Amino acid sequence: MTAPALATSPPQSGALATSPPDVIYPDSDGKPMADNTRQFDYIVMIQGGLAALFVDRPDVFVAGDLLWYPVEGDNRTRAAPDAMVVFGRPPGYRGSYIQHREDHIAPQVAFEVLSSSNSRAEMRRKLEFYDRYGVEEYYEYDPDRGTLKGWLRRNGRLEPIARMEGWVSPLLGIRFSLEGIDLVLYRPDGRRFETFVELDQRAQRSKAEGLQEGLQQGLREGLQQGLREGLQQGLQEGLQQGLQQALDRLIASGMTQDQARRLLGLA
């Protein structure tokens, strides 16, 4: 999580005009993505869930903890949302999000997951940054306190969302909820955002259920096949035994073996 830096003052009018040098936009500010494992888990869950949600969209870029430079020629005005979504830009690798190289499209949705080190002043600066540079929806979750806040752009400014429980993002289509102090996000199809551990556990359960179902189906089919074969064998043996008994009776009655076999259709 990177504290945003607002634009600095322009040079004094008395300074000599020079051609601006090529500006380097660093890919890192040297700060960690998270301060603790709980914060990290939520950041990864949100970013990963959003990436999965839009995996089939060629016009949606999703990133986590990526430096965003909104002002051309200014590498000091920047922020690194814990997660952000940009509609109108393709997915793929970026070392940073340099807005003027992205058709001047600002991220429309930003997320911040707080830690104990984030001060109120810092979070106020983040809100001002996102408001100033065009974010349409901004969401802020504190996993330690279990608080969830949101802002939506109305009339050109980010305005607080009165109630976040059950709120559905207009742009993302996801639903927000708190279970105790835990943030839960639901996709438009009703499925929850999951951590990598939860995804792996579900995959293992599905695999085990698939194996069990396959075994049960194999047993059912084997039993049915065995019954069919046993019935056929029993009928065949019974028919042969009955024909032999009939043949023996006819011979005992005075017929020759050939006459009896012709009579029973065995000749």
Give residue 213's domain range: 201-263
In a domain, 25, yes or no: yes
Percentages of the chain per state (helix, strand, coil), in multiples of 5: 35, 20, 45
Query: Quick one: 115 and 219 in the same domain?
Result: no
143 and 184 share one domain: yes
Q: Is it the case that residue 56 has pLDDT exceeding 50?
A: yes
Q: Per-residue pLDDT for 215 more than 80?
A: no
| pLDDT at site 265 | 76
Cα distance between residue 216 and residue 237, in whole Å: 31
Confidence at residue 183, expressed as pLDDT on a 0 to 100 scale: 97
The pLDDT of residue 264: 65
Domain boundary among 136, 171, 194: 194
pLDDT, tens digit, 9 for 90 and up, residues 57-87: 999 999 999 999 999 999 999 999 999 999 9
Considering its fold, how many domains does the chain have in total?
2
Clarify whether residues 185 and 233 are in a common domain. Answer: no
105 and 33 housed in the same domain? yes
Predicted local distance difference test score (pLDDT) of residue 18:
41
At position 135, the amino acid (one-letter code) is V
In a domain, residue 142? The reply is yes
Asked if 215 and 113 sit in the same domain, the reply is: no
Specify the pLDDT at position 159. Answer: 98
> Average pLDDT in the 84-109 region?
98
> 19: which 2 tokens?
């051609």
Higher local confidence (pLDDT), 215 or 176? 176
Model pLDDT, residue 16: 41
Residues 88 and 116 in one domain: yes
At position 246, the amino acid (one-letter code) is A
Q: Is the pLDDT of residue 147 over 70?
A: yes
27 plus 96 within the same structural domain: yes
**Distance of CA 39 to CAs 1, 42, 118, 169, 209, Å?**
10, 5, 12, 22, 33
The verdict on residue 153 lying in a domain is yes
pLDDT higher than threshold 50 for residue 8: no
Percent of the chain with pLDDT over 70: 85
- Check whether 152 has a pLDDT greater than 80: yes
Residue 11: inside a domain: no
Same domain, 207 and 255: yes
Q: Say if 12 falls within a structural domain.
A: no
Who contacts 145 (Cβ-Cβ below 8 Å, separation ≥6)? 181
Report the C-alpha gap between 93 and 84 in whole angstroms: 14
Q: Name the band, by pLDDT with cuts 50, 70 and 90, for residue 13.
A: very low
Residues 171 and 248 in one domain: no
| Average pLDDT of every residue of the chain | 86
Q: pLDDT tens for residues 174-209? A: 999 999 999 999 999 999 999 777 766 766 766 666
Q: Within this chain, do residues 205 and 173 fall inside the same structural domain, yes or no?
A: no
d(Cα 266, Cα 248) in Å, to the nearest integer?
Answer: 13
Same domain, 239 and 160: no
**Mean pLDDT lowest for which of 41-50, 102-111, 226-235?**
226-235
Write down which residue in 158, 175, 194 finishes a domain: 194
Instruction: Tell me the one-letter amino acid at 159.
Output: E
Please state the φ and ψ torsions of residue 224, each to the nearest 5 degrees: -65, -45
Which has the higher per-residue pLDDT, 8 or 116? 116
Q: What is the reported pLDDT for 58?
A: 98
CATH code of the domain in which 108 resides: 3.90.1570.20
pLDDT at residue 107 above 60? yes
State residue 24's pLDDT score.
95
Does 118 map to a domain?
yes
Does residue 76 belong to any structural domain of this protein? yes
SS3 56: coil
Which of 148, 163, 194 represents a domain boundary (last residue)? 194
Q: What is residue 195's predicted lDDT score, i.e. its pLDDT? A: 78
pLDDT band at 101; cut points 50, 70, 90: very high
Write out the DSSP string of 175-226: EEEEETTEEEEE-TTSPBP--HHHHHHHHHHHHHHHHHHHHHHHHHHHHHHH
Residues in CB range of 2: below 8 A, 6 or more apart: 29, 31, 65, 67, 78, 79, 80
Report if residue 14 sits inside a domain. Answer: no
Considering the domain architecture, whether residues 54 and 152 belong to the same structural domain is answered as yes
